[in-house]
Amino acid sequence: MRKFAFVLLGFLILSACKQNTMSEHETVIAFRLKPGEDLQKGIENIVKQHAIKAGWINTCVGSLTDYNIRFANQPKTDSGTGHFEIISLVGTLSENGSHIHLSISDSTGKTIGGHLMQGCKIYTTAEIVVTATDRFDFERAEDGTTPWKELQIKVKR
């Protein structure tokens, strides 16, 4: 009986690795980007493919050969080539504009992070899980509090 429970639990976990409705409002989307693909473009393709109006990144593990990120309050990006582990990938997702931050570490453990830009090339994999909801619309607009377009959350009734 115990073995059956573990097999059933494993099946349920594997089943959740595809698109799966969590509730009537949330959908989980799991996907993998392959070597040479662009991390930012790959995520945006999923956002468009699934018409995500309001979503967020749950988790990501993987590696890069090239990175291109923008540090806080800097107009230009920083880039590099080598082998880097993805330590963290977080952000809000929407067809109306996404905002994603990336942390990576090199072979010595030195870690840097910033705003994800195009040009981050996958080394071996990027295994990503996102959740989308139909309860909100995320939009980006200038609101006078900063010079940038910031997240505007519209609650759907």
pLDDT in tens, 5-18: 444 444 444 455 44
Measured CA to CA, the distance from residue 82 to residue 101 in angstroms comes to 20
- Residue 12's pLDDT is what? 44
| Domain at 21-155, CATH class | alpha beta
Work out the pLDDT band at 3, boundaries 50, 70, 90: low
End-to-end, the C-alpha distance of the chain in Å comes to: 45
Is the predicted pLDDT of residue 99 greater than 90, yes or no? yes
- Residue 148's pLDDT is what? 87
Q: What share of the chain is helix, strand, coil (3-state, %, to 5)?
A: 15, 55, 30
In this structure, are residues 61 and 86 in contact, taking their beta carbons and an 8 Å threshold? yes
Measured CA to CA, the distance from residue 86 to residue 73 in angstroms comes to 22
- Residue 22's pLDDT is what? 56
The whole-chain average pLDDT of the chain stands at 89
Q: Which of 73, 108, 88 is nearest to 39 (CA)?
A: 88
Q: What type of residue is 95?
A: E
Work out the pLDDT band at 23, boundaries 50, 70, 90: low
